Amino acid sequence: MDLNRFNPRQREAITHVGSPLLVLAGAGSGKTSVITHKIAWLIQEAGIPARHITAVTFTNKASREMRERIGNAARKDQIRGLTVSTFHTFGLNLLRREAAYAGLKSGFSILDAEDAKSVLSDLLKRESIDDRDVTARVQHTISQWKNDGLSPEQAILQATEPQSVLAASAYVEYDRYLKACNAVDFDDLILRPVELFRHKPDLLTKWQAKIRYLLVDEYQDTNGIQYELVKRLTQISGALTIVGDDDQSIYAWRGARPENLNELNVDFPTLKVIKLEQNYRSTRVILETANALIANNPHIFEKTLWSAKGFGDRIEILPTKTDEDEAERIASMILERRLNQKKQFSNFAVLYRSNHQARILEFKLQHFKIPYKLSGGTSFFARSEIRDLMSYLRILINPDDDNALLRIINVPRRRIGPTTLEVLGRYAQERNQPLYACISEMGMTSRLDPEAARRLSQFQELIEIARRDLLVGQGMQAIEALIDGINYRGWLSDQSSSEPMAERRWGNVLQLLEALKKDLKNDDDDPETAEETDDDTAIEAAIRKLVLRDILEREEDEDDSDRVQLATLHAAKGLEFPDVFLMGVEEELLPHKNSMEAETIEEERRLMYVGITRAKQQLTITYAKKRKQFGEFLETTPSRFLDELPDEHVHWHGRDELDPEVARQKGQDTLSALAAMLKGESV
């Protein structure tokens, strides 16, 4: 393998074997190339078969990129059997293979955050607690316990305060519910495999033999249970490469522990550390500014990024009168630079701390016909009300869908409690049958009190009536009758924080029904389809189209079309752009008010560092002197982080320039002139 294009540190990281390795990879230092070529080197030079190599990261996007790059670095036949996945996909695959060990039957359901919240809400109502905030806190606490590797029994022993005692009690019941329903939640995808490894040494030995080399990307984002998974799989062999950067640890709010990097020295005494400090992305000005900022944080490992790309332009700091002025100036500068510097819209990114900051900016971009792409938006099909209705549709065409049944059996609430579902789940497991098929069996009804059996029977009758109507060709009428029959609109009203919110959610339901009608009409108008299908299969086909549409929407979110990228700082991690705007750099925004109260300023500084290091050539930092909140303008304070930037690398607009009002008018004139120039141009 030719490694001449890599620098000495990168080559050393690629070829190192024989002891655990930590690669401290600074922003833009080529870590993805290093980890992918190391995999190819392990196969081609170290002689490790691909089927015995596993690489894990955190996002599907990162996993796909890694897989594609490995495909370019090694032949297809060489990488056959290689595992490249997210942590959670790895855990899911392990549980599927070892379901019997884990006490799961095949086809077990996975509850997402919304599903879990609904279950916990019902469990807490049994304790006369009907408070969404309490439910959210309990859910967060249980998730934290799972991320720390704690079982319900351990949580009970640890809980001392009233809130934690309540959460621990709910954790016990929640765990009982999951086991009864043959289900796991998202956190279980890591916790359950680790529990298997803790208690079944033979199984751990089997997987240690299977994984002869493990690589972990973005290690600073691991939580406690993820670190334990890595440690159990590799501590004996030491066949481990970890890539991370403590300066880019920005996910403590979801359980990430940057201190995991420090613990490597203790758990792996022969650990070798290689620092990748040469940055291939940004100019010297941007890197030296980022270094100066992050130097205010304590460090586990010291490193200093450097670049051979040249000095570059100074960073611009732009105060504006209001948040509306801020959005307008950003739009103006994008248009100006696009024309004067011959840039594409896709060269620009606007980054911010919180999603709400994008609203005014979106209006300004729309007004001046600047195309943009908003990261982090909720897919139509990810909305709770749409997932409810899709689950009903799935049940209508496939009653054996346990996951869909579990989602909607108490939506709207039917007082089918955890105990009833536990009995149903246990009975279905004994019979090795889907949950729905077992509801009316005599053996099942005999285990329940008459009222519980009646409620289950009523639910099944509701579904069966709709299914019969489908079979006789009533199609949409059957679906609409079902929605009316369960008073789903009333349920949305009860579950929404306000009436306008309820109406918006009901509007989404109507949009889904209209999409179904349109697809069914198109099928009816197609002679080939009409002759080959009855109404039932037409509806099934329509649902498939909706699912496909969702997939296409997600692909659109990742396209490379010529649009300005809008993203939160969290969503921007791993991305890079020639020209970056970092907006709203004010106290209580960046650093965020919550972090100031919780004294987590260091993570906010790392977040600012991530924002700065997204820029390749130009960086503009903006803030508003007044920001509108609740209908009135409030004075703001520039972020403390601005004072930590080196004076020689920044240019403050307005300090040695025109009067601010004159400058504002000049900016508006420029914007108008540019917009006029673009009139008629396709954007």
Find the catalytic residue in 220, 222, 241, 248: 248
Find the catalytic residue in 11, 12, 15, 32: 32
Question: Is there a catalytic annotation at residue 97?
Answer: no
Which amino acid appears at position 409 of this protein? I
Question: Is there a catalytic annotation at residue 208?
Answer: no
Rounded distance between C-alpha atoms, residue 671 and residue 201, angstroms: 68
Rounded distance between C-alpha atoms, residue 167 and residue 211, angstroms: 36
Rounded distance between C-alpha atoms, residue 401 and residue 393, angstroms: 11
DSSP conformation class of 314: P
Question: Is there a catalytic annotation at residue 226?
Answer: no
**Bridging pattern class, strands 240-244 and 21-25:** parallel
Nearby residues of 229 by Cβ (< 8 Å), 6 or more positions away: 87, 91, 190, 193, 194, 197
Rounded distance between C-alpha atoms, residue 394 and residue 385, angstroms: 14
Residue corresponding to tokens 């792409």? 373
Q: How many other β-carbons are positioned within 10 Å of the β-carbon of residue 627?
A: 20
Residue corresponding to tokens 């994984």? 211
Q: Which residues of 264-281 are buried (b: 16+ CB within 10 A; e: fewer)?
A: beeebeebeebbbbbbeb
Q: Which two tokens stand for residue 237?
A: 């062999």
Question: Is there a catalytic annotation at residue 378?
Answer: no
Q: Which two tokens stand for residue 676?
A: 């006029």
Rounded distance between C-alpha atoms, residue 581 and residue 614, angstroms: 10
Question: Is there a catalytic annotation at residue 550?
Answer: no
Find the catalytic residue in 122, 218, 325, 523: 218
DSSP letter string, 25-60: E-TTS-HHHHHHHHHHHHHHTS---GGGEEEEES-H
Residue corresponding to tokens 């080559």? 11
**H runs (alpha helix) in 496-612:** 499-525, 527-532, 535-557, 569-572, 593-598, 601-612
Using H for helix, E for strand and C for coil, what is the string for 514-539? HHHHHHHHHHHHCHHHHHHCCHHHHH
Rounded distance between C-alpha atoms, residue 18 and residue 12, angstroms: 13
What's the Cα-to-Cα distance from 489 to each of 131, 387, 391, rounded to whole Å?
Answer: 21, 15, 16
Backbone torsions φ then ψ of 300, nearest 5 degrees: -75, -45
Question: Is there a catalytic annotation at residue 217?
Answer: yes
Q: Which two tokens stand for residue 59?
A: 């996002």
Find the catalytic residue in 9, 10, 31, 226: 31
DSSP conformation class of 631: T
Q: Describe the crossing of helices 450-471 and 535-557 by its angle, rounded to 10 degrees.
A: 100
Find the catalytic residue in 188, 217, 325, 603: 217
Q: How far is CA 319 from the centre of its chain?
A: 32
Find the catalytic residue in 281, 614, 616, 627: 614
Catalytic residue set: 31-32, 217-218, 248, 614
